[in-house]
Amino acid sequence: MALFSLTNVTTHSRRPLAIIINKKQKTMKNLMKFIGLAFLTMTLAFTNVDKKTIVIDVGHGGQDNGTTVNGFDEKEIALNIANKIKELNKNSNVVIILSRDSDKFLSLSDRANQINSVKPDFVISLHANATDNQKENGKQIFVSDKNKQKEKSGDLALKLFYSFKDRNVEIKKADFYLLKNVEYPIALVELGYLTNETDREILTTEKGQYKLAKSILSVIK
């Protein structure tokens, strides 16, 4: 009886112990799962909130010089400024993609497809202007009502407007191909007139190009 009793006690005392260990293991497992999930959620939250993908659409290229004044090609000016925007960006959460990083031709439909495929947060298309009137100067920012995200495109245009700290900046509406066919917020900027001496000085010098690049980057950040 005494022996039976002892066996019985032993058996009883082992069972709860085993259950306790199992419970502890389960708790630890759940805790690890929870920590893992929390970490994943935090990572995703940071990825979603902070990471930005911006496309700088570099106007013209290849056989398409854009406008040419005094030997200065619009396609080259656009690329120089785009490269400076990329160079000045020190924020690792902002990924800047150029639609072209060399002197190559891209059709408008290729550009639109390429831009849409990277699903950017927004797009800024860079251009320079020209006109017969050499006195005409200043910048224009174009947006389209036919853009799928026209409100956000409008916000982008407004941010660009203030970033330039220039007295002569206009926001205009135009249904240009890219403005209509890019499915993300987009503004096209004419950064000045190559036919105007003052604007040309800004568009074609390192100092002027860095100034423009800084203004555009301030919108991106």
- Applying CB under 5 A, the residues found at the interface with Zn ion are 59, 66, 127
Q: Name every residue whose Cβ is closer than 8 Å to that of residue 132 and which is 6 or more positions away in sequence.
A: 195
Of residues 66 and 120, the one with the C-beta less far from Zn ion? 66
For 27, phi then psi, to 5°, come to -60, -45
CB of 164 to Zn ion, least distance (A): 17
CB of 161 to Zn ion, least distance (A): 19
Which residue in the shown chain puts its C-beta closest to Zn ion?
A: 127
CB of 74 to Zn ion, least distance (A): 5
Sign of the Cα pseudo-torsion (193, 195, 197, 203, in order) = positive
Question: Residue 44 CB: number of other CB atoms within 10 A?
Answer: 10
Question: What CA–CA distance (Å, rounded) separates 220 from 137?
Answer: 25
Question: What CA–CA distance (Å, rounded) separates 166 from 158?
Answer: 13
Query: How are strands ordered across the β-sheet holding 169-173?
Result: 94-98, 52-58, 122-129, 186-193, 139-143, 169-173
CB of 150 to Zn ion, least distance (A): 22
CB of 111 to Zn ion, least distance (A): 12
